Amino acid sequence: MEINANTKLYGLIGHPVEHSLSPLIHNYAFNSLDLNCVYTVFDVLPEKLEEAVKGVKALGIRGVNVTVPHKEKIIKYLDVISEEALKIGAVNTVVNEEGILKGYNTDVYGFIDSLTEVGEKIEGRKAVVLGAGGASKAVCVALALKGIDSIIIANRSVERAKDLSEYIKKEFKIQCDYCSINEVKELPEIDILVNTTSVGMYPNTEDSPADEKVVLKAKFVYDLIYNPFETALLKHAKKNGIKYSNGLSMLVNQANYSFKLWTGGFFDKNLVYRYLKEGITHNL
């Protein structure tokens, strides 16, 4: 695609942003659909966020993704916030509709699709979510929206797990307990075990947020990490014949919902998966 005077600009606002896979996903999708659009990254320091948002408006940038550390703070600079983004208190996608900036959160639907893709049902099941940060909140909201029976949030800092569990209970009226991440080994059976912590992420690939004994209690294990493809946690699952999935699907699915908000249509997920898997295998 030739970049010219009609090219629409999209991007990612975050800090740091240089390892993001979002430019690869969106530019590949734009090209495959012959759309005259381009996606780049904007490394924005926290103190420059307000100016950056004004810049999106002033320059007519058509849309941006938002990542750490701006997902929560950007809300006050936007004109309209979707219901799900308000519920999570975080925006990961902004659409510039003729100067009106609308904030959405596609992480929730991205996570739901990732389980649906591998045939995992959420309704009526019992989940254990490791971690209590922003990613955990999106996962817990997704599980609650799709009718999970109960959630246990396990975190290193128990106070954070308690706060998130109280929020989920209050918002969704479901059973949501919490414990220390060291206490998960004492839990009985787990239907869905989700890791939202950064434990096991490259370069600390030997680390696992839960040991093999915990994984043995689970029927399905989802790790939000995709670098490496197979974390130590997922290796425990694989070794014991337990169904598992990595975070690449959530990354691609949330991107696809952003893409839909910007262009009106979805991209072909399978093409994007294939492209990313080839790229990641060769570069990492």
**Contact positions toward ligand ATR, by CB under 6 A?**
68, 131-136, 155-157, 160, 181, 196-199
Instruction: Determine whether 71 is an active site residue.
Output: yes
Query: H helices of 100-247, where?
Result: 107-117, 134-145, 158-172, 212-215, 232-239
Q: Which is nearer to ligand ATR, 156 or 219 (CB)?
A: 156
CA–centroid distance for 28 within its chain:
20
Q: Extract long-range pairs of 31-35: CB within 8 Å, 24+ residues apart.
A: 31/1, 32/267, 32/268, 32/271, 33/263, 33/265, 33/267, 34/1, 35/1, 35/8, 35/263
CB of 283 to ligand ATR, least distance (A): 22
Which amino acid makes up residue 135? A
Q: Which is nearer to ligand ATR, 183 or 278 (CB)?
A: 183
Q: Which is nearer to ligand ATR, 103 or 131 (CB)?
A: 131
CB of 161 to ligand ATR, least distance (A): 8
Asked if 149 and 190 touch (Cβ cutoff 8 Å), the reply is: no
* Burial zone of 264 (CB within 10 Å; 0-12 exposed, 13-18 middle, 19+ buried): exposed
Asked if 220 and 243 touch (Cβ cutoff 8 Å), the reply is: yes
Q: State the catalytic residue, choosing from 54, 71, 102, 121.
A: 71
Q: Which is nearer to ligand ATR, 11 or 200 (CB)?
A: 200
CB of 227 to ligand ATR, least distance (A): 13
What H or E segment, with its residue span, contains residue 258? Answer: helix 248-263
Q: How many residues belong to the chain?
A: 284
How far apart CA 276 and CA 272 sit, in angstroms, is 6
Q: Which is nearer to ligand ATR, 155 or 165 (CB)?
A: 155
Known catalytic residues are 71
